[in-house]
Every structure is written in structure tokens, then in C-alpha cells.
Amino acid sequence: MSPRRLSDCCQTGTMVIQHIAFGQDWHHAQRTGTYDRSTRGASIEEVGFLHASDGPEQVSAVLERFYADVREPLVLLTLDEPALAAAGLSVVREPGDPADPDSERFPHVYGGPLPVAAVSRVEPVVRSEGGLAPDAVGGSDDAAVAADVDALHLSRAITLAGANAATDGGPFGALVVTADGRTFEGANRVTATNDPTAHAEVTAIRAACSGMDTFDLTGAVMYASCEPCPMCLGAALWARVDRVVYAADRRDAAAAGFDDAAFYDYLESPDRDGLMPLVHRAIPEASAPFEAWRANADRTEY
Ligand SMILES: [Zn+2]
């Protein structure tokens, strides 16, 4: 049978288009900007369309039927229909069982890979005793969902940190999730690149700014495996990051032999223990650079 347009078969726009994705596949999509999986193990290219569900009931049924044995983290993506249309993709409701035209209909997205920007909401799929619990599906409490998304990103930052520590880097990982949902990752490269500023957070901010072609990450959230040091906190402030979420704290870092806590103490009182003298000498030409800045009509404010 030939696919029909959504408008031919549905009364109103009450449909919620949702897709179950593996967390790893979604992270990969955030790095590349497009999501190309259709369903478990098969790509959109192979299947011809992206498998989706219409609302919590269908999502629960699909989870139970096709994902019950999955142990890897899953996320539920809610797709934005106007954004799909803007990207040249179309949604068609078709029988879930291609061999049975009377079987329950599911939304299928045609036209190629899914732009990450067409995903309006990401929720973790939570497991309960009996397997995959549908109670995480359908958005019970927004704050709880946001917290779970934070946990998912923090978990990724910790994975990056662990992998880095097992090779040639320090035990720190971070990621920046931009306002449009793209993810940029960073790991500590201080010793690997002889760069004392190459902390995971700075590396992630550099990747995000380079990838987004901007110096302003307004609307972004930064996730760090450990509490950012003063330099990284400063970098996040300068990058205009909206929020910073971290897992381990400065005391955990100190216990592992890192100086974060000592540097925070220094900032509170730079002359307390002679760690690094900070000297102010107001020589006459000190303000000349600012005069040059003000005189430059072509300057880019930041
Ligand atoms: Zn740092």
C-alpha cells in the first residue's frame, strides 16, 4: 500500500511523535547534528523511515515488546512536527505490521536522517523491578525529568573522565549541551598536550564555540564529572553558559591530589599563604589599551 499523508488520516494535531533511542546513539547524534537510527540496530537508510510512536501508550507497548531485554540507557525523544516539516521530512501513519493493513497505526518519519534540532524534548527511560517502566514516559513532573536528563549527561561526563584517565589524560570529563540541543565533549588534556589550561570544561567550551562558530554559549548547560576549578568556572562565565552541573566536588579532587580546593582558598585571600604573589603597579600607560579599544569603531563587543 502507498503511504498516506498524516493530514489524510487524522482529525487534528493531537498526535505526539516519540521515538525510543539508545543513549549512545543520541549522544552520537548530538555530536554530528543528525540522528540516523530507525529502530533497534537498524538505520533509517536500511528501514526507509524512522520508527516512532504516538504518545505514552504506544511507547509503553513498544518498550515492552522490543526493548524489554535492553540494559543500555534509553532515551525518549519527542519530535517537533513543524521542525520536521521545515527539514523536509514528512510524518505518515502506517500499520505497525506491514503484512496486516488493519494493524495499529504508528507514525513513520520519511525523508532521511533526523536533524537534532527537530527533537523538542529528551527524557531518560527509567527501569523498574519489572523491566522498563513506562512511568518515565509521558512527562509526569518537569523538574524530575530535568534532573534525570542532568543525571544522564553527568553519567556521560563521568564515562569520558574514566576513559581519559585510563589512557593519557587526567580523570576529568565534561560536556556542553547548547541551547539547540547539540552536545560537545571534552576531556582533560593537560599532560597529553602540555597545556595547563586544557581542563575538560575548557576543552568542551572550545569544542562548542568552534562547532557553533560563536564565542557566546548563552542557553547552554555545562556538565562536569567534577566541580569546576576557578579557571573553568571563569571560562563558563565568559562563555555565558546558563548553568553548570557537576558530580564529584573539590574535596574529592583534593583527595585525589588535585589543587582545586587550594586554588579556591587562594581566590578568597590571595596573600594568605604566599602561593603566588599578585602585584598591582599602576604604571602610567596601563590604560592605553582601553583607550585603543574605545577608539576602535569596528570592535566586537563581548
Ligand atoms: Zn578546571
Q: What is the pLDDT of residues 255-264, one digit of tens each?
A: 999 988 888 8
Provide the pLDDT for residue 54.
Answer: 93
Task: Indicate which residue of 104, 201, 268, 291 is catalytic.
Answer: 201
Residue tagged 568552534 (cell numbers): 210
CA atoms of 267 and 84, how far apart (whole Å): 49
Provide the pLDDT for residue 137.
Answer: 44
Instruction: Locate 276 and state its grid cell.
Output: 603566588
Exposure b/e, 162-180, CB count within 10 A at least 16 = b: eebbeeebbbbbbbbbbee
Provide the pLDDT for residue 97.
Answer: 85
CA 44 to chain centre: 22
Provide the pLDDT for residue 119.
Answer: 87
Q: Are 139 and 123 in contact (CB under 8 A)?
A: yes
Residue 56 alpha carbon to ligand 1 centre in Å: 41
- The type of residue at 36 is D
Below-50 pLDDT ranges, the chain: 1-12, 129-130, 134-140
CA 255 to chain centre: 29
Residue 62 alpha carbon to ligand 1 centre in Å: 43
CA atoms of 92 and 4, how far apart (whole Å): 6
Residue 34 alpha carbon to ligand 1 centre in Å: 30
Q: What is the dihedral of CA 155, 160, 165, 170, to 10 degrees?
A: -100
111-158: per-residue pLDDT in tens?
999 998 888 888 777 655 445 554 444 444 566 666 678 888 999 999
Provide the pLDDT for residue 191.
Answer: 96
Q: Are 198 and 190 in contact (CB under 8 A)?
A: yes
pTM: 0.61
Residue 299 alpha carbon to ligand 1 centre in Å: 29
Instruction: Locate 201 and state its grid cell.
Output: 570544561
Helix (H) or strand (E) holding 147: helix 142-165
Provide the pLDDT for residue 156.
Answer: 92
Strand partners, 187: 173
CA 18 to chain centre: 18
Provide the pLDDT for residue 141.
Answer: 58
Known active-site residue 201: yes
Work out whether the CA dihedral 265, 271, 272, 275 comes out positive or negative: positive
**CA nearest neighbour of 26 among 60, 58, 74:** 74
Residue 232 alpha carbon to ligand 1 centre in Å: 4
The residues near 82 (Cβ < 8 Å, ≥ 6 apart) are none
3-class secondary structure for 207-241? HHHHHHCCCCCCCCEEEEEECCCHHHHHHHHHCCC
